[in-house]
Amino acid sequence: MAVPSRPAAGTLIICPTSVLRQWAEELKTRVTSSANLSFLVYHGNNRTKDPHELTKYDVVLTTYAIVSMEVPKQPLVGEDDEEKRKHDSPIRHMADKKRKGSPSSSKKCMKNGNETQSALLQSSVRPLARVRWFRVILDEAQSIKNHRTQVARACWGLRAKRRWCLSGTPIQNAVDDLYSYFRFLGYQPYADYGSFCSMIKNTISRNPTNGYKMLQTVLKTIMLRRTKGELKILLLQ
């Protein structure tokens, strides 16, 4: 059974519920009428179930809570997975021993099973995950700083050509907060947790001075910093 392709959509802005209406108001008042920008507030129990409806708007506004409910969670990669594999492997090995049937029939069954599972998964996925976004913007991106949370793993799963993280406090607790942003942005090699630890986290632990210098170099390539004063000037233009 073929899995239907995802329709293309515009920009998805994800923010905390507390600023959702503010975003809508800003789009109304800050964007000139000549831009003819259309937007949809995707929130509440009556939100559309049709992914094609989302493609009709230039901008779709939603919250982290909605994304967490609608988007399949991406698996953890790194230390957590390694620990899980250690516990799972003996059980999996025993199951393999007990499995009967010829190799060819097993492969055929597995193939059919994967196709059915993929089709069922696609049919159960909610609208946000059933479109290909041109751009996904995370406002207050520190909301995904803990890479083990459901909301972080859901945001990673969104399909998008462009990805932005907006935050006034990108690092709140430790340098480990940055990994989730790199994973969301798909910024290799640091989007891989093992590489992130060996190249950034562990380097800082061994030699903080050199480690933070290297981190600054990494961040300069992907980070655009704006002070409040600069933003005021931009808004007045």
Model pLDDT, residue 232: 64
Mode of pairing for the β-strands spanning 160-166 and 39-41: unpaired
User: Can you name the residues that pair with 133 across neighbouring β-strands?
Assistant: 9, 160
- Please give the model's pTM, rounded to 2 decimal places: 0.77
Q: Which one-letter amino acid corresponds to residue 41?
A: V
Residue 117's pLDDT is: 43
Q: Is 3 left (phi over 0), alpha (psi -120 to 50) or beta?
A: beta
CA angle 84, 89, 93 (to 5 degrees): 160
For position 93, what pLDDT does the model report?
A: 39
Q: Give φ, ψ of 59 to 5 degrees.
A: -135, 135
- The pLDDT assigned to 227 comes to 74
What span, in angstroms and rounded, lies between the C-alpha atoms of 113 and 121? Answer: 12
Q: Where are the alpha helices (DSSP H) in the chain?
A: 20-30, 51-54, 64-70, 79-98, 103-124, 150-156, 177-185, 193-196, 202-206, 208-220, 228-236
Write down the pLDDT at residue 234. Answer: 59
Instruction: Give the integer Cα–Cα distance in Å for 115 and 110.
Output: 9
pLDDT at position 116, please? 40
- Give the SS3 label for residue 175: coil
Strand partners, 40: 60
Dist. CA 179–CA 156, nearest whole Å: 12
Name the residue among 192, 35, 47 with its Cα closest to residue 126: 47
CA-wise closest residue to 60 among 9, 26, 8, 18: 9
Distance, CA of 218 to CA of 190 (rounded, Å): 10
How many other CB atoms sit within 10 Å of the CB of residue 200?
Answer: 21
Q: Which mean pLDDT values do the consecutive 10-residue runs of the chain (237 residues) have?
A: 70 97 94 92 93 96 96 74 42 42 49 44 71 97 95 96 92 89 95 94 93 92 80 61
